[in-house]
């Protein structure tokens, strides 16, 4: 891979860009519209949002403001927890399309596996949700369907009943929360892993190990973390409101981490989770 517009082929044959721009915690309005437009100007073509973020309309406006052709953008959004279930999913999807002012989605994800509203029957609700997504996929309103924050036991609950296999799982992954077992499971089952919070919400930026490795390459700790993810064939979904930081995040293709450096980063472990446990969310 040579730049952020390089493509990875998903198991259903759809191409996805190797890095994405995320919009979590970017408020609806001009700020988000400008940030998305700036990200596209910096070279990003893979844009990630969610119904839960409340900014789909602004993200869509940012894409249009960029004047880049829609077919050159890979657009992802995610289903809100309270809208899981067959009929609710179909309705929620229609709402997302309207807010984004899009005719189709490139990728649609179930945002979380065990919403508090469906905690007692999440398995049945999750499968019904997937059936609705399969229908939308068959109708060619979505080019690929997948999951977010699903661990192996959540994935099996869907995969064992699915007609269309999940092609993506988006997980919290960064140097202090590697999720190696789930990544291995996904890769063994042809599920492309994406990393949200690839910089641990900034918690990894002062890490001594990353700082030492960064200095040896003339890079920043953030760039080391993103490169570490890319070398695992994981798609990082980075986020910044600043064009200078967007450009920095994209500048990770002119060096390679050695196997020893990769192992030093893996050794940082599994204690740095910044988001909720998918089995114990309260929303």
Contact 104, 144 (CB under 8 A): no
Q: How many residues does the structure list for the chain?
A: 283
Which string of b and e fits 245-270 if b means at least 16 CB within 10 Å?
A: ebebbbbbbeeebeeebbebbeebee
Catalytic residue (one of 21, 53, 137, 185): 53
Alpha-carbon span 48 to 75, nearest angstrom? 6
Note if 21 is an active site residue: no
Run of H or E including 41: helix 30-41
Q: How many other CB atoms are there within 10 angstroms of residue 120's CB atom? A: 9
Alpha-carbon span 63 to 35, nearest angstrom? 10
Contact 227, 257 (CB under 8 A): yes
3-state secondary structure of 266: helix
Positions marked catalytic: 53
């Amino acid at each position: 891979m040579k730049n952020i517009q390089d493509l990875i082929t998903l198991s259903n044959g759809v191409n996805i860009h190797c890095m994405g721009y995320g919009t979590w915690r970017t408020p609806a309005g001009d700020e988000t519209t400008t940030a998305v437009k700036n990200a596209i100007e910096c070279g990003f073509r893979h844009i990630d949002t969610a119904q839960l973020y409340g900014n789909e309309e602004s993200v869509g406006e940012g894409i249009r403001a960029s004047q880049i052709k829609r077919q050159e953008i890979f657009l992802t959004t995610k289903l809100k927890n309270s809208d899981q279930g067959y009929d609710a999913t179909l309705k929620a999807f229609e709402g997302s399309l309207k807010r984004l002012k899009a005719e189709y989605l490139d990728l649609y994800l179930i945002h979380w596996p065990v919403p508090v509203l469906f905690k007692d029957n999440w398995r049945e609700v999750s499968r019904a949700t997937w059936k609705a997504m399969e229908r939308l996929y068959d109708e060619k309103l979505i080019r690929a369907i997948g999951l977010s924050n699903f661990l192996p036991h959540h994935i099996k609950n869907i995969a064992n009943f699915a007609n269309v296999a999940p092609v993506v799982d988006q997980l919290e992954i960064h140097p202090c929360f590697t999720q190696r077992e789930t990544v291995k499971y996904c890769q063994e089952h042809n599920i492309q892993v994406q990393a949200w919070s690839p910089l641990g919400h900034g918690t990894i930026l002062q890490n001594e190990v990353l700082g030492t490795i960064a200095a040896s390459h003339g890079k920043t700790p953030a760039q080391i973390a993103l490169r570490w993810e890319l070398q695992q064939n994981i798609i990082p979904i980075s986020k910044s409101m600043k064009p200078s930081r967007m450009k920095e995040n994209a500048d990770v293709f002119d060096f390679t981490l050695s196997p020893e450096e990769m192992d030093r980063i893996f050794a940082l472990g599994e204690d740095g989770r910044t988001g909720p446990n998918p089995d114990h969310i309260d929303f």
